[in-house]
Amino acid sequence: MGNVGGHGAADLASSVRGRIAAAIFERVSGPEGPARRQVIHEPGGERLFEEGRPVRRVHGDSSMFVGGITALLLQSLHPLAMAAVAGHSGYRGDPWGRLQRTSYFLAVTTFGRASDAQEAIGRVRAIHQRVTGIASDGRPYTASDPHLLTWVHIAEADSFLRAHTRFGSQPLDQAGRDGYVADLARIGDGLGVPDPPRTEAELAARIAQYRAELAGTAQAREAARFLLLSPPLPVIARAPYAVLAAAAVSLLPGWARRPLYLPRLPVTEATVVRPAGHALVHAIRWAITAPPTAPAT
């Protein structure tokens, strides 16, 4: 009887795991998800990054669910980058479409064949050429501007690395963190980022160079409110998402929070937000990681 009960519990856990994984995949990958997954895992062909590279460890970890939110908040602090997002990305009307396109780009450049990765990079470069406009302060912008491309690149690199360092299953050592920045520089080069940083120290120095240009514009604060407080989610997903959002804010340095009116609560973050973030990231990892195959008996 105990064995039967054990099998029943295992079957229930497997069913729950499968349903959660399917829901996450559908949300992150969208209707084109199955076809895109086939492209990413197409056998044969050279990859941009070989097995074991730091970029594969970071981008393949569920801490990216936190790092992605952090990156969007940090990127919004550059007024011209934020104007481009507000004017062209459809983040309010189609936030999940934007997420799905971004997740595919990261996946195919990290894990896919080099030819598919280069095709995706070429598509993004072509889109950037078409994204132009005038910011609310009267300054013109274009998404292909190397200076703006650099900001978007370094904000992502810093956010993804911070998230993996705090919430990743196996945080990288210093050599690994430098290796991650160097790996991401290869993608940045392809997108037109001039001389992207290749170590963690270079990344921090490059971000510091942008500090004087950053500001919490009305567009940036509106985007933060939408992203953190009112994303279009089913009721059942709102509480878990709130944990991810709080964990993402906890990764931002104080200088990045103040312009967005985001509070800094060291005690609450240490005792509540971080443990909750770890627990949820672990739960997502459990759901989307295939269980080991039981040995034949």
- Angle made by CA atoms 43, 48, 51, in degrees to the nearest 5: 65
Per-residue confidence (pLDDT) for residue 19, from 0 to 100: 77
Contact 136, 69 (CB under 8 A): no
pLDDT in tens, 46-82: 999 999 999 999 999 999 999 999 999 999 999 999 9
pLDDT in tens, 152-201: 999 999 999 999 999 999 999 999 999 999 999 999 999 999 999 999 99
Q: Name the residue ranges covered by the structural domains of the chain.
A: 50-98+117-288
Banded model confidence at residue 119, pLDDT cuts 50, 70, 90: very high
What single string gives the DSSP state of each residue in 43-105? SSS-BSS-TT-HHHHHHTSTTHHHHHHHHHHHHTTSHHHHHHHHHHT-TTT-HHHHHHHHHHH
- The pTM of this model reads 0.88
Percent pLDDT > 90 in the chain is 68
pLDDT at 8 over 70: no
Reported as type and span, the H/E element at residue 134 is: strand 132-134
